[in-house]
Structure 1
């Protein structure tokens, strides 16, 4: 039997919490370097088309399932579909474990860089020196694990507080602050000497660089960034009032998410070219390029500490949203206490994060299918598990759940003339697109 569920304190609180789930490391760390490795502006256009074309439709569908059932991922599919459909919910919970195991590793790096910026140990624009600092740190067998442990503990502390006193409270303050800091850093980055080349690379499409890999990288980024396929949107939707205008709320979240991702690209790519970095340098762009930008600015250390603090908090709000579906499932379905559930789930995630961290150092030679452990779980989560979750959610809402359109309209209270288009996307376009992209990723 399900326990009574909390509700969001306000619509603004829900929007900020859902945006906090979507806006995180995926936007500021992953999006710029994924764009850089996939042809710049052409990737940006493809990414936006995927978000609008079916990412938004699947996000609405997932959140709608949660709101209608007022339950966790497993309980929601059991209540609305029965049969084997609860396995989709189980898949979302499992995906969260996998993602959080490597997410806390990268998030731990942001905590470390707060200290690096504050101490002045990376106060240089020398790319070789900054690369050495980054490579040396991530290869250390102990320090990154300790930082990931601290980050996991912070995540657990917030989730223990529940919806109103934990998740909502943090997001209502910190998301607007992150947005303001990003704008300041974008303005500084685009005024650097040589920034124009980076802007052209980021915004001017080069369709000659587009391959099949560009498309599946775009959909993987869209699913990762929008938090589709891991039960996060479903769980957050379960705390919503049934009177909420769900399409508008989801569109707002998607716009905030995409806007921050684009701002992150405008912040990083001009600086990449201004300082002579390789735009396809990978995840080091955030941890190598930005310190160089800060070193060139008046009061750069202050901006650097502030940025990495806010980046860590953005990562924290996302990590909270990934942990919550696991906790919600155990608390709802098995009547365990929230505190004990959070502790056990967090310890499991932390343990799974250890080999991910060691992949950059002493375990870098250990590979499976040519991938380190970190690269393997990253690939599995973003190219298989998240798309599968989105695929089955689209199929469920589009075909199996006959009341979906009625629930979307708030039981007839809203006039939504585009509902047939939404259902068509869920029934045909999204499944076909997701299957094609998954096949491209597996056989590339």
Structure 2
């Protein structure tokens, strides 16, 4: 029961949940980060390590989050109120995850706005017939134009608002059943185009040829960190989506399907992108430089590039949209469950707040470029570092520790037995109790070391 008075919303079908949860997991990182870090860290050797990390860290924590949500029928904060009590330490895990969701939602929508801008550029033929230097310069002109970014930021937030305000079944599930199949179709078209290009083998080799000489301790940590972050863990989304699950749903099967789709899309995106990049004799870049600079140049040189560019940036936009609606929903659920707000009021308020808080992000590389809240980092980079490097792993670590050590084992087992997978309990409980916390703690330690937090603390107290 939501708020103890209203029946809890539920997914209308298993397919609806899987598509919504996969949509939450599939984001921009699948398309512009995973392929590149795979190629740069040993190709097939890295992919193998990544899959192991998914199995022993990502999957157990995803099951734990879904289990918490389904058992309590509450948002991330309310779930820990229900399990551990309001006066205990553990609701902090829920608060941190909801806070991370809000921060990410505010700046992610600005980045998603870039994809909408590039859809517009592709449709209007802005890349056609332009020299490479002019196309590459378009991204710099975009991030340097605060007004243009704010317009796209507003449009993207409005799209998220329009979907989430419709509710679980008529909003999120209905649109997931529309957006995710379209996303798969667009990706498949790009994948086939890449596999039929002359750069197909180079793309396959870049991503999958195992080069164990490049597989360092840092590579393993990169795989471990990406396995955690790519599945939308630690940001309240899976707890919230789990709270809408049928009590008899197979948690293991549902989680495996979501993980499989997320990984498949990342691999297909990498093959699609790098095959066409190599086909025109270019070298892949990393991050935003790959999708907003290299890819438009590549498509401008290919037959049918006008259509391919439209397909690619639509794909990016849909991936961003399905991810961001889960972030917004996790916050909306908190206000509905804990504060008694109506869905309309909660969604409108949070979408508006996300837009306002996202304004400094849109101005980070123009009007506010001189403002560096943390070290030499812009507002955008500071917000991303706080959420991605600290809040997400801290939340995930707390969830793993609570579920592995403090939650009643009989209740956990009942949740798995209800879906017909009680047999997996011993292996899952071992992983969530010992392996997952240690792995996430390791990632958190090195993230703190990498970002200079320890040095800053030493100077503060020294």
TM-score (norm 2): 0.90
**Which whole-Å CA distance do the structure 2 matches of 1:300 and 1:339 have between them?**
42
In the alignment, the residues of structure 1 paired with residue 371 and residue 224 of structure 2 have an alpha-carbon distance, to the nearest angstrom, of 28
Check conservation: 2:110, 2:358, Cα contact below 8 A: yes
User: Does 2:67 match 1:67?
Assistant: no
Which residue number corresponds to residue 338 of structure 1? 343
Compute the displacement of 1:38 (Å).
Answer: 4.2
Partners of 1:366 and 1:190 in 2: CA distance? 45
- Tell me, yes or no, if structure 1 residue 395 matches structure 2 residue 398: no
Deviation per CA, 1:134-188: give whole Å up to 9, x if none: 1211221211121011101110111111011110001112212211221211121
Native 8 Å contact 2:179 2:322 kept in 1: no
Q: 2:446 aligns with which of 417, 440, 444?
A: 440
**What residue in structure 2 maps to residue 99 of structure 1?**
104
Is the deviation greater in 62-71 or in 219-228?
A: 219-228
Partner of 2:273: 268
**Among candidates 143, 149, 157, match of residue 154 of structure 2:** 149
CA contact 1:124–1:130 (8 Å) conserved in 2: no
The alpha carbon displacement at 1:385 in A equals: 1.4
Query: Is the 2:335–2:346 contact (alpha carbons within 8 Å) kept by the matching residues of 1?
Result: yes
Identify the match of residue 220 of structure 1 among 213, 216, 225: 225
**Displacement after TM superposition at 1:297 (Å):** 4.3
Contact 1:36-1:279 within 8 A present in 2 as well: no
1:48-107 deviation line (CA, Å, top 9, x unaligned): 221112110000000000000111111111112222221111111100011112210111
Question: Which of 6, 9, 12 is residue 6 of structure 1 equivalent to?
Answer: 9
Paired residues of 2:33 and 2:286 also in contact (CA < 8 A)? no
CA contact (8 A) 1:220 1:383 kept: no
Q: In the TM superposition, what is the alpha-carbon distance from 1:329 to its structure 2 partner?
A: 0.7
**Matched-pair contact (CA < 8 Å) for 2:413–2:425:** no
Farther-moved stretch of structure 1 (7-16 vs 22-31): 22-31
2:460: which partner in 1?
none
- Contact persistence 1:216–1:441 (CA under 8 A): no
Residue 436 of structure 2 corresponds to residue 427 of structure 1: no
Looking at structure 2, the residues matched to 290 and 316 of structure 1 have their Cα atoms a distance apart, in angstroms, of 21
Asked whether the 8 Å contact 1:271–1:289 carries over to 2, the reply is: no
- C-alpha distance after superposition, 1:310-367 (max 9, x if no partner): 3212211111100111110111111112111112211221122222222233434433
Pick one of 409, 418, 425 that aligns with 2:424: 418
* C-alpha displacement of 1:416: 3.2
- Alignment partner, residue 244 of structure 1: 249
SS for the counterpart of 1:226 is coil
Residues 414 and 422 in structure 2, CA contact (< 8 A), matched pair in contact too: no
1:304 to 1:61, Cα distance in 2 relative to 1, 3 A: same
Q: CA distance change for structure 1 residues 328 and 279 in 2, over 3 Å: closer, same or farther? A: same
Query: C-alpha separation between the residues in 1 aligned to 2:421 and 2:238?
Result: 23
Partner of 2:389: 383
Q: 2:119 is matched with which residue?
A: 114
1:116-195 superposed matches below 5 A: 116-124=121-129, 126-195=131-200
Query: How many residues were matched structurally?
Result: 443
Check whether the contact 1:220–1:382 (CA below 8 A) recurs between aligned residues.
no
CA distance, structure 2, for counterparts of residue 325 and residue 339 of structure 1: 14
CA distance in 1 between partners of 2:446 and 2:125 (Å): 44
- Tell me the TM-score normalised to structure 1 length: 0.94
